Structure 1
Amino acid sequence: MCGRYASSRKPEDLLEEFEIVESRVGAPLEPDYNVAPTKEVYAVLERGARPPAEGDDSPEPPERQLRVLTWGLVPSWAKDPGIGSRMINARMETVAEKPAYKRAFAVRRCLLPADGYFEWYPTSQLTGAGKPRKQPFFIRPRDGGVLAMAGLYEIWRDPSKADDADDRFRWTCTVLTTEAEDSLGHIHDRMPLMVERDRWSDWLDPRVAGRLDLLVPAAPGGLEAFPVSTAVGNVKNNGPELVEPLPLEEVVE
């Protein structure tokens, strides 16, 4: 799974990196080195520039936007938005069939930019409760580039809000996952799906039906993993020190 990640890039950097036409970001998000479920995150997606006029045979193509979404997908039919906290990941193997995801997979796909993500590896040491202590690892592109994680988004209408309320719609997202590639599988058996740059347009275009062939695990050797401080386990902790490699003498084995 993917339950924590880091996202420190500025909106202006993302606009250039992803060739975004329009920013729908109000106040920029602070760099976040401990992104957790239910937090606000940046998402790249494509929406229609305007509704086609009656009789218009050549509607404008969708435009690429940068938006702020809440991590934890709330399906449009959900009665309780709290369901989002349990829907932070969608498995690639079932995303096209599961009721919670299949409509979004068809037309509401996005990219979630990240510096990298965290996974926890169970060690031989035990906690006071007799459970294995877990060592966090940070996994990032070896070349220092941005990680374009495959995501889905939904728009949930809050029935308690007035029709003219600015916050009547809640925009939420989820990260797609797959089996981890061999060099990372010993840490965790799942990992986020990546979308390669040359497939971004097809993945984002709502006019293109959802296609699993656009999703690929990271190329073997393209990612690096290293142990980091256990402080990342507390969502209250934040800062670039959380993604710094841990000295070997401090690693929990």
Structure 2
Amino acid sequence: MCGRYASSRTSDDLAEEFEVAEVRVDAPLAPDYNVAPTKEVYAIVERPPGDAAEVAVPERQLRVLRWGLVPSWAKDPAIGSRMINARRETVAEKPAYRRAFQRRRCLLPADGYFEWYATEQRTASGKPRKQPFFIRPADGGVLAMAGLYEIWRDPTRADDDPARFRWTCTVITTEAEDALGRIHDRMPLMVEPERRAAWLDPRTEGPGLLDLLTPAAPGRLEAYPVSSLVSNVRNNGPELVVPLPAEEALG
């Protein structure tokens, strides 16, 4: 799964990187080196300008969404904390994701993501000690994770309340390629630049959607051990993505 990631780029940087036509961000997000479920994150979507009628030609927008998808039909938004990942194998059929997969696809930009590797060392309780790894594009570029988003209407808020709609998202994952599978068996799907337009366009339909999602090519990502400080979501800062010296990493 993908349960933590780092996102330090500014809204201006992301708007340029993803050729965004409109930045729909009220308050810029601070760099976050320990993004966890339910936090606000940047997302690239394509929607009609100004949220006009669906018949309008969509434009690329940068928005702030909450990580943890809440389906439009959900009774309780707390369900979002359990829906941070959607599996590629079932995303087109599962009721929670099916409608979003057809019309509300997004990109979730990241510096990289974290996974924990179970070592041979044991804790006092006998459980394997886990070494966190940071996994990022080998070229230092932006990791464009495939995602879905939904818009949930809060029935407790008035029609004129600007907070009545909650925008949420999830990361689509797949089986990890061999080099990364030794750390964790799942990984987020990347969307390469040449496929982003088709992925984001809500007018793209059909079984070919899944063909737009492919695992990262071998060697495209690199992984290295980092400090266990990242295991506590209260810790945040660039030191969390600094490579750990080999002698300090758990065996």
Matches within 5 A, 1:1-253: 1-49=1-49, 51-52=52-53, 60-209=56-205, 211-253=209-251
- TM norm structure 1: 0.96
By how many angstroms is 1:52 displaced?
4.9
Gaps of 5+ in 2: none
Q: State the alpha-carbon separation in 1 of the partners of residues 165 and 93 from structure 2.
A: 25
Q: State the alpha-carbon separation in 2 of the partners of residues 249 and 184 from structure 1.
A: 21
Q: Alignment RMSD, CA only?
A: 1.1
Letter in 1 for 2:81: S
For residue 154 of structure 1, give the secondary structure of its aligned residue in structure 2.
strand
Gaps of 5+ in 1: 54-58
Identity across the alignment (%)? 76
- TM norm structure 2: 0.97
Q: State the alpha-carbon separation in 1 of the partners of residues 159 and 45 from structure 2.
A: 25
By how many angstroms is 1:122 displaced?
0.2
Letter in 1 for 2:239: E
Q: State the alpha-carbon separation in 2 of the partners of residues 60 and 191 from structure 1.
A: 35
Q: State the alpha-carbon separation in 2 of the partners of residues 234 and 51 from structure 1.
A: 42
Q: State the alpha-carbon separation in 2 of the partners of residues 215 and 244 from structure 1.
A: 29
Q: State the alpha-carbon separation in 1 of the partners of residues 134 and 63 from structure 2.
A: 25
Deviations 1:24-63 (A, max 9, x none): 001110000000000000000000125459xxxxx54101
Letter in 1 for 2:19: E
Letter in 1 for 2:226: V
For residue 118 of structure 1, give the secondary structure of its aligned residue in structure 2.
strand
Shift in alpha-carbon separation, 1:52–1:251, aligned structure 2, 3 A: closer
Q: State the alpha-carbon separation in 1 of the partners of residues 53 and 137 from structure 2.
A: 40
Q: State the alpha-carbon separation in 2 of the partners of residues 77 and 129 from structure 1.
A: 42
Shift in alpha-carbon separation, 1:233–1:52, aligned structure 2, 3 A: closer
Q: State the alpha-carbon separation in 2 of the partners of residues 248 and 147 from structure 1.
A: 25
Shift in alpha-carbon separation, 1:104–1:52, aligned structure 2, 3 A: closer
For residue 195 of structure 2, give the secondary structure of its aligned residue in structure 1.
helix
Q: State the alpha-carbon separation in 2 of the partners of residues 74 and 66 from structure 1.
A: 20
Deviations 1:121-175 (A, max 9, x none): 0001111211000000000000000000000000000000001001000000000
